[in-house]
Amino acid sequence: MKVIAYRNYGTPDVLQLEEWEIPTPKKNEIRIKIYNTAVNSGDWRIRKADPKLAKLYFGIFRPKQPILGISISGVVDSIGENVTQFKIGDKILGSTGMRLGAYAEFTCIPETSVITILPEEISFAEGACLSFGGLTALDFIQKCNLQKKQTIIVYGGSSSVGTATIQLAKLFGATVTAVCSKNNFELVKSIGADFVMDYKQFHSDDHRTQYDVVFECVGKSSIVSNLRHLSIGGVLVLVGASFKEMFQAAWISLTKRISIKFGPIAETLENLKLLTELTRTKKIKVVIDKTYSLEEMAEAHRYVEAGHKKGNVAINILS
């Protein structure tokens, strides 16, 4: 089978096409013939070991798992012993989690992974792009306990997490302001943003509005600048916080009693099923910017790492 592997940390050029044997599912595992995956911010950060401390988990000198990717959609084509939840031929979507391995034509994962049936109303590309941004957005919104009629500002509103956050926040009944570049205003308004502003407006002295939730999706604004716009008793969300920012946020939370949410999310099957149903019934949509082939993975990484994508970037694996 074809895989995209990286044997060393570095630029997108470390991503190379290789031929591997097709894996055999073990007990309680299913094998998935992958139709689509997606390139997310987490993928390129792992690839280049950003931050360097990530090497403690992924491999100090070289990657322990050379195949990146967590978002998948495809078809179950083989099952191991004792599998009861899926059968051969089932169309699925979901996440491989920290096992990674989605940049390949096949992967084997436990049947208890965060995966569910792909409805006919959702394409394989949409299915692959649904989990990363959707699960991240939903988990943080739940941690915020976002309520009807509350106000939320989404910094990086046109990102994968941002586009999901805008739509979910609207479903929760909140009033949503999206911060993005001007050429993305129409996109974020089309998915539910009540108000829009560009990054210059957000950081200007004239912007004095405070919000119940400040939701920073892309890790490009400082904690101090975000706290300026947080109402008393509000919640600051830092999706892309660096380790330095996590320590800073923890200290502020402890000493100033300000609620700041950050760190890894809890990927749950319950949330994936909810997102799938919301997408199936067209209550939310998966925004896809560009699609690349498996062989174009390095190019896809360059595009995503540049930070200008709108929503998600899909990878076609099945020709």
Clarify whether residues 138 and 246 are in a common domain. Answer: yes
Clarify whether residues 11 and 127 are in a common domain. Answer: yes
pLDDT at 50 (0 to 100): 86
pLDDT, one tens digit per residue, over 24-34 is: 999 999 999 99
Closest listed residue to residue 311, CA positions, set 116, 91, 104, 38: 38
Clarify whether residues 6 and 115 are in a common domain. Answer: yes
Provide the number of structural domains found in the chain: 2
pLDDT tens, the chain, 319 aa long: 999 999 999 999 999 999 999 999 999 999 999 999 999 999 999 999 988 888 999 999 999 999 999 999 999 999 999 999 999 999 999 999 999 999 999 999 999 999 999 999 999 999 999 999 999 999 999 999 999 999 999 999 999 999 999 999 999 999 999 999 999 999 999 999 999 999 999 999 999 999 999 999 998 999 999 999 999 999 999 998 888 899 999 999 999 999 999 988 999 999 999 999 999 999 999 999 999 999 999 999 999 999 889 999 999 998 6
pLDDT at 301 (0 to 100): 98
pLDDT at 244 (0 to 100): 87
pLDDT at 47 (0 to 100): 97
pLDDT at 39 (0 to 100): 98
Clarify whether residues 24 and 101 are in a common domain. Answer: yes
The distance of Cα 61 from the centroid of its chain, to the nearest Å, equals 26
pLDDT at 178 (0 to 100): 98
pLDDT at 51 (0 to 100): 82
pLDDT at 319 (0 to 100): 62
pLDDT at 52 (0 to 100): 86
pLDDT at 240 (0 to 100): 85
Clarify whether residues 294 and 173 are in a common domain. Answer: no
Among 262, 281, 300, identify where a domain stops.
262
Q: Which range marks the domain in which residue 26 is found?
A: 2-131+268-316
Q: pTM (2 decimals)?
A: 0.95
Clarify whether residues 11 and 125 are in a common domain. Answer: yes
pLDDT at 54 (0 to 100): 86
pLDDT at 241 (0 to 100): 86
Token pair for residue 190?
A: 């089309």
pLDDT at 243 (0 to 100): 82
pLDDT at 315 (0 to 100): 98
Clarify whether residues 7 and 104 are in a common domain. Answer: yes
Clarify whether residues 86 and 103 are in a common domain. Answer: yes
Among 239, 262, 285, identify where a domain stops.
262
Clarify whether residues 56 and 205 are in a common domain. Answer: no
